[in-house]
Each structure stands twice: as C-alpha cells, then as structure tokens.
Amino acid sequence: MTTTADRNGTVDAGKKVLEQESAAIRQIAGNLDESFADAVDLLVACTGKIVISGMGKSGIVGQKIAATLSSTGSMAIFLHPAEAAHGDLGIVARNDVVICLSKSGMTEELNFILPALRELGVPVIAFVGNRRSCLAQNAHVILDISVEQEACPYDLAPTTSTTAMLAMGDALAMCLMQKKNFTHREFAFTHPKGSLGKQLNMRVADIMSKGDAIPVVSEEAPVTDLILEMTSKRFGVSAVVDRKGRLRGIFTDGDLRRLVQKGGDFLKLRAGEVMTENPKTVTSDILAKRCLEILESFRITQLIVCDHEQRPSGLIHIHDLITLGL
C-alpha cells in the first residue's frame, strides 16, 4: 500500500518531467533563427506535397505532423524510411519537399535515402539535434531541435526530444496556415464531423424532418383532426395551412393545454380558429447553428421550415440540434 509520501513523490516526479519538457520547448524557441523562415518559405512555395519521414518515435511524431499539416491546408503524407528504401520512395516527386526527423541525425534508414532525394533534386528540411550529423550535412534547411537531456532517468527513452520535434512541427504548420490565409471555414471543410465543421457547414436541410413526417392540417380541419395530427407525429406541434398549402399558423401542445384550461366546447372549432398566427419560421438553407440560436432566443423548441412561397417543407426540433453537439 502506497503511503502519502510515496504519492507525493510520484506527483513531484511527474511535475519534473513536465518541467523538463517545457524547458526543452523554451530552448528550441530560443535557438530559432532565420532557418525557420527559410523552411516556411520553402513549404509555401512547394507545388507538390510535403513528405515527412522518420524512424521509431520520431516517425510517430512525423505522422502527427503530417496529419496536422493536412488538416490545416498543406498536402502532407508520412513516408516510412525503411519502406522508402524498398520501393516506397516512388511516391516522392521532384516538386515535393521532404522533412526528415532524427534527434541524432545518424538514423541509418533515413540517411540511406538521402542520396536518392538529392538525385531527384528534392529539398530536405531536417529536424535534427546534431548539426554535424549526416542528415544535417545533406539538408537544405536545418531546424535545431537539440535538447540538453531526455526526461527519461537514464537519458535514453525519446521524451523531451520528441516533444521538441512535435512543437517545431506545430510551429511550422501554424505559420503555414497564416501564410496561406487558411481560414476557419476551410478548417471546417477538412473536419466535417467535428463540432466546428457542423457549425460552419451543416444546414437545416441536412437534418430537418420532411415529407409525411411533417404534421400539417388545413385551416378548415376540425380541432379533433388537428390534435390527432399533432400527437401522431410526436413533435408537439402542427402546421396549419390554407387551401394553397401556405403556412397560416401553428398549433402546439401548449395551445392545447390552454384550451383545456379555458374550458368550453373547443372541439367544435376549426384549426384556423385555435392556431397561433404568424409563427417564427426558417428556410432550409440557413445554417443549423443559426437555427439553434433562433430557437434559444425565442425560447421555443421547434420551427416550421418553409420554402420561398411559405409552404411547409420541413420541421426541425431543438433536440435534433443539441444531439449533433451544436
């Protein structure tokens, strides 16, 4: 059973690792020079794709950097250096830029493909911690990711060095976003299932109920038909239309409760006599996020969706929008 002292020691050890990794990022930030601007310019001018390569933990970081670049407006892929030496190098074209990741700069599998990249005339950006290494000597641009030591107590497991690589990759990606004027709308396009994508791309037409699911009655229909239509479609509301199918009003379960409270033989009335006129409506082309704002601002739970001739074409409920995470 661990003692309080043991638990406190564990917390302190965790803090030490985080402080070491924070210090590593501060160190590479302090070392950043004109080479970083050269790297950004090289990537902005790239008319092909950005190819990221690295072995082991550096390769895993490379995959994340490639994913970040791809989602922020720069075409990027990851190339495993060992597989590259056995045919996959064919994915590299002359108009590409290659980013190689290696703390030591002496990774055999990575350095083995450098002559082929030189033959292709492909510029190489090196994330490297040793400027005298083979990788550094063969790179067009060197980005220094050297760290004083790994967070590993034996200075062996890649920890602070991979954190430095990852942070450098993020810095490149964010600067590229700005240089390319990559907007939040473009970001939403590459993240259609994310919350931002839904907010900026999803429209009412994508999620509204339509067709026979819409509760609709004529204004001449008896109240009994109106109540049956509203309850059978389970939306707690029914649209009321004129003879040409244009929306005249709505009737809600709240309206029904108020009729019951007032008393009287309201079942003899027509739908047009009990409906609420001029209800709030939306068109199918507005953003779902905007629709939610309308519902919340008027404190209502559903909206009739109308076409440009004011005929009901759909119905949207606030639960549909909340379920989507908007």
* pLDDT at position 265: 85
Provide the mean pLDDT of the chain: 90
Tell me the per-residue pLDDT of 164-178, one tens digit each, with 9 for 90 and over: 999 999 999 999 999
Domains along the chain with CATH numbers: 4-182 (3.40.50.10490), 204-323 (3.10.580.10)
* pLDDT at position 234: 86
3 state SS of 203: strand
Give the whole-number percent of the chain exceeding pLDDT 90. 73
* pLDDT at position 323: 76
Q: Residue 53: pLDDT above 80?
A: yes
Q: Residue 184: pLDDT above 70?
A: no
Structural contact between residues 50 and 66, judged by C-beta atoms closer than 8 angstroms: yes
* pLDDT at position 320: 81
Confidence band, pLDDT 50/70/90 cuts, at residue 185: low
Per the model's pLDDT, the better-predicted residue between 243 and 185 turns out to be 243
Per the model's pLDDT, the better-predicted residue between 254 and 263 turns out to be 254
Tell me the per-residue pLDDT of 285-312, one tens digit each, with 9 for 90 and over: 998 888 989 999 999 999 999 999 999 9
Q: Is the pTM of this model over 0.85?
A: no
- Let me know if 42 is exposed, middle or buried by CB neighbors in 10 A (0-12, 13-18, 19+): middle
Torsion of the alpha carbons at 298, 304, 308 and 309, rounded to the nearest 10:
-120
Structural contact between residues 196 and 326, judged by C-beta atoms closer than 8 angstroms: no
* pLDDT at position 4: 83
Which residue has 């109540």 as its token pair? 227
Please count the residues of the chain.
326
Instruction: Average the pLDDT over 124-144 and give the result.
Output: 96
The CA–CA distances, whole Å, from 94 to 41, 50, 146, 276 equal 17, 11, 30, 68
Instruction: Average the pLDDT over 104-112 and give the result.
Output: 93
Confidence band, pLDDT 50/70/90 cuts, at residue 78: very high
* pLDDT at position 229: 93
